[in-house]
Amino acid sequence: MTQPSASAPVYVLAAGGTGGHMFPAEAVASELKRRGARVVLFTDERGRRFADAFPAD
């Protein structure tokens, strides 16, 4: 996985706190991070249970 640099693009993903939203967002975030981007996640209270495993900065 490539480490993001200060000039790396930042992507903001928004996903509701259900698996139907979080799992696709996780796949997208993983690929963006692999390409060297920074990823930020916005979610609701239900999504907090996924936060520790989510590949975001």
Specify if 27 maps to a domain: yes
User: What's this model's pTM, rounded to 2 decimal places?
Assistant: 0.81
Q: b/e for 17-56, b at 16 or more Cβ within 10 A?
A: eeeebbeebbeebeebbeeebbbebebeeebeebeeebbb
Specify if 26 maps to a domain: yes
Specify if 6 maps to a domain: no
Expressed as residue numbers, the domain containing 42 is 12-53
pLDDT at 1: 58
pLDDT at 2: 62
Number of domains comprising the chain: 1
Per residue in 35-45, pLDDT tens? 999 999 999 99
Q: For residue 17, what are the CA distances in angstroms to 5, 21, 32, 36?
A: 29, 7, 20, 25
Specify if 2 maps to a domain: no
Per residue in 4-55, pLDDT tens? 677 899 999 999 988 899 999 999 999 999 999 999 999 999 988 888 888 8
